[in-house]
Amino acid sequence: METLGPGRRLGIWSQGCGLACAGCMSRHTWDPSGGASRTVSSLLGLWREALARGADGLTVSGGEPLDQPTALEALLAGAVRARAEAVAPGGPAAGREIDILLYTGYEEEEVEADAARSAAVRHADVLVTGRFQVAEPTALAWRGSANQRMRPRTARGRARYQEHLARTESGPRLQMVEGDGDVRLYGVPRRGELAALERRLRRAGIALTGASWRP
Ligand code: SF4
């Protein structure tokens, strides 16, 4: 995945979100009983494989990752340890710069007011916070609406994301990947991008059914 953070990244999407932002493109992630169960150790196995294959980072999004704060803390703490092993001399990613980016729909104050949530986010290099507000479009890279905040939390995060904090994008922001009987979209669309994509597909004779951004 190449559209949520710098470089080529492993993406992990958590299932379940009760924030119900109007205009959310990922309504399929709202139901906490949906998705597929994965253990933290199996996800860390994917992360180690991604590091060995050259991943530049890990992005965790949702759904709402902080609705599973204990599991998220275990995942991110393990991801930090796996990264340290991989970038050490002789490791599969020796000397490379690799970051961990976490998205949440909670505001910073809501994260800090909750002990379990704040414990989980301390392992992330960069945190994007805030509900998606459909009435506040933005061209800022990797943010869906202008109210959302991107905050580096570590020296690595500051070094890697400083140039992106105020960077804007004018072109398409979605990566489309054909799945097993479906099409997956990765990234944060700019305003109108989903509708334009549907129009293009229709012209090519493809009608989307079950789009995740429709009720
Ligand atoms: S935009 Fe994010 S926080 Fe808002 S409802 Fe969708 S998944 Fe939840």
- Bridge partners (DSSP) of residue 49 are none
131 lines ligand 1 (CB under 6 A): yes
DSSP code for 7: S
Query: Per-residue pLDDT for 135 more than 90?
Result: yes
Question: What is the model's pLDDT at position 178?
Answer: 85
63 lines ligand 1 (CB under 6 A): yes
Question: What is the model's pLDDT at position 98?
Answer: 98
Query: Per-residue pLDDT for 147 more than 90?
Result: yes
Query: DSSP assignment of 8-20, as one string?
Result: SEEEEE-------
Q: Radius of gyration of the chain from Cα atoms?
A: 17
Ligand 1, atom 3, lies closest to the CA of 105
Residue 48: burial class (beta carbons within 10 Å; 0-12, 13-18, 19+): buried
CA of 91 to the centre of ligand 1 (A): 36
Ligand 1, atom 4, lies closest to the CA of 21
Three-state secondary-structure class, residue 38:
coil
Dump pLDDT digits (tens) for 37-67: 999 999 999 999 999 999 999 999 999 999 9
Query: Per-residue pLDDT for 68 more than 90?
Result: yes
User: At 96, is the pLDDT very low, low, confident or very high (cuts 50, 70, 90)?
Assistant: very high
Report the distance separating Cα 159 and Cα 21, nearest Å.
31
User: Of 145, 116, 8, 136, nearest to 128 (Cα)?
Assistant: 145
Q: What percentage of the chain has pLDDT greater than the value 70?
A: 100
CA of 204 to the centre of ligand 1 (A): 30
CA of 14 to the centre of ligand 1 (A): 11
User: Of 16, 189, 157, nearest to 76 (Cα)?
Assistant: 157
Q: Please give the average per-residue pLDDT across 199-208, as a whole number.
A: 89
99 lines ligand 1 (CB under 6 A): no
Report the distance separating Cα 124 and Cα 57, nearest Å.
11
146 lines ligand 1 (CB under 6 A): no
| Whole-number average pLDDT of the chain | 95
Residue 190, CA atoms < 13 Å, CB-side half-sphere: 11
Q: Which residue has the tokens 């570590």?
A: 154
Dump pLDDT digits (tens) for 149-201: 999 999 999 999 999 999 999 888 999 898 888 888 999 998 989 999 889 98
57 lines ligand 1 (CB under 6 A): no
Ligand 1, atom 7, lies closest to the CA of 63
